Amino acid sequence: MHPGEVGASHALNGMLEFLTSSDEVAVKLRNDYLFLIVPILNPDGVFNGNNRMDSLGQNLNRFYHLPDIQRQPSCYAIKLLVESTRKQIFAFFDLHGHANKKSCFLYGNSIPLTRLQGESILFAKLLSQNCEEIEFASCNFSKKHMSSKDKNEDMSKEGCARVVVHRWTSSPYCYTLETGLHKNVKVDEKGIERYGEDFYSMKTYQSIGVKMLTTFHQMLQKSKKVDDLRKEMIVYAGKLEKITSKSKDINSEGDKKKKEGVVVTTKEFKFEDQGLVEAGKPAVSSFPPGLPRP
Ligand SMILES: [Zn+2]
């Protein structure tokens, strides 16, 4: 969608190579799920060598809520594609690269049901454990981030793919992958920038794509490790909810920033409070089991 975000292209290539391989997990994924893969959603932007926009100067990732068949045909086609599945999309990954932030991370959605919010965060947490390039502290699941306006553009994230597809399908597993484009800088687990040489390469981005798929497979298997982490993430989601609702009256610019920092980062929390887990059970069973095989 944004032609300059090359890390996303490499991540998709990694996914495609893995999915078509004879790897045991890839075979299992192919047997259990139908993958709908749409590369290059902004072909005219690619052709023109644009960094972000299409040939009409539009950031297409702001039009999914009301796509026009003439002006945003690729967004319109995605909408038809989702509708053709009767909105039974189990998971959705939109691949991007972040121009400013110096790490790789996921954006998810704010979901009112704590169990489903925990489920949504679980994938990001598990991926960060499997993939050292993914920085969990930079992941964002806040409500505010689902509608925030872009700098210098009068558009909001209300129209971005992960938010709109989540609203169409109710899937908790709708994400934007942001591949950091600063290959010599990354953010460590404490949120501190580290400088070095070639943290990110084509192979790194490809491996992030592969790990997104293998982590997804891992998350849906029964295991003590995943079940324990799921409980932790439900507790974490409950804490995020409390902090977000308490922060509603914070309005000044400075405080807004502070609030966002609290809501988005994970390092503020320890997961020792198991008391809240009681109410939560894994959400997977209450969610549509994915597309039937054709
Ligand atoms: Zn992008």
**What pLDDT, in 10s, does the model give residues 114-146?**
999 999 999 999 999 999 899 998 899 988 888
Residue 173 has pLDDT above 80, yes or no: yes
Asked if residue 292 is part of any domain, the answer here is no
Residue 173: its H or E element: strand 173-180
C-alpha–C-alpha distance, residues 140 and 222, integer Å: 26
Confidence of residue 257 (pLDDT cuts 50, 70, 90): very low
Assign 20 to helix, strand or coil: coil
Q: Is 1 a domain residue?
A: no
Is residue 90 within 8 A of residue 291, CB to CB? The reply is yes
Answer yes or no: 268 catalytic: no
| CA dist 193 → 98, 103, 138, 182, 264 (Å) | 15, 9, 12, 11, 17
What separation in Å is there between the alpha carbon of 187 and the centre of ligand 1? 19
Position 244 scores a pLDDT of 65
Catalytic member of 178, 232, 241, 253:
178
Q: 134 in helix, strand or coil?
A: strand
- Which pLDDT band holds residue 245 (cuts at 50, 70, 90)? low
| 294 falls within a domain | no
Which residue's entry shows tokens 């210098």? 152
Residue 196 has pLDDT above 80, yes or no: no
CA 107 to ligand 1 centroid distance, Å: 12
* Rounded percentage of the chain residues whose pLDDT exceeds 70: 81
How close is the Cα of 110 to the center of ligand 1, in Å?
A: 20
What is the CATH number for 250?
3.40.630.10
- On whether residue 227 sits in a domain, the answer given is yes
DSSP letter at 176? E
Q: How far is the CA of 241 from the centre of ligand 1 (A)?
A: 27
Tell whether the model's pLDDT for residue 278 goes beyond 70: no
Specify the number of domains making up the chain. 1
Q: What's the first-to-final CA gap in the chain, in angstroms?
A: 28
Structural domain boundaries enclosing 138: 6-286
pLDDT at 285 (0 to 100):
32
pLDDT higher at 265 or 145: 145
**Could you tell me whether strands 193-195 and 185-187 are parallel, antiparallel, or unpaired per DSSP bridges?**
antiparallel
Q: What is the pLDDT of residue 134?
A: 93
Residues whose Cβ atom is located within 5 A of ion ligand 1: 2, 5, 96
What is residue 226's three-state secondary structure?
helix
- 72-81 pLDDT, tens digit per residue, is 999 999 999 9
Domain presence at residue 57: yes
- pLDDT score of 153: 67
| Amino acid residing at 286 | S
Burial pattern 263-287, b for ≥16 Cβ within 10 A else e, equals bbebeeeebeeeebbeebebbbeee
Whether residue 219 is contained in a domain is answered as yes
In a domain, 193, yes or no: yes
Residue, of 286 and 45, whose pLDDT is higher: 45
Q: What integer best gives the mean pLDDT of the chain?
A: 82
Cβ atoms of 174 and 109 closer than 8 Å? yes
Q: In the predicted model, is pLDDT for residue 191 greater than 90?
A: no
Determine the distance separating the centroid of ligand 1 and the alpha carbon of 88, expressed in angstroms.
Answer: 25
Q: State the Cα–Cα distance between residues 117 and 244, nearest whole angstrom.
A: 13
Contact 206, 95 (CB under 8 A): no
Judged on CB neighbours under 10 Å (0-12, 13-18, 19+), 173 is buried
What span, in angstroms and rounded, lies between the C-alpha atoms of 165 and 173?
A: 10
The answer on pLDDT for 217 being more than 90 is: yes
| pLDDT more than 90, % of the chain | 62
Does pLDDT of 287 surpass 50? no
Q: Which residue has the higher pLDDT, 93 or 100?
A: 93
Q: What is the largest CA-CA distance in the chain?
A: 56
In a domain, 52, yes or no: yes
For residue 110, the one-letter residue type is S
Quickly count: other Cβ atoms within 10 Å of residue 51's Cβ: 10
pLDDT reported for residue 41? 96
d(CA 47, CA 31): 35
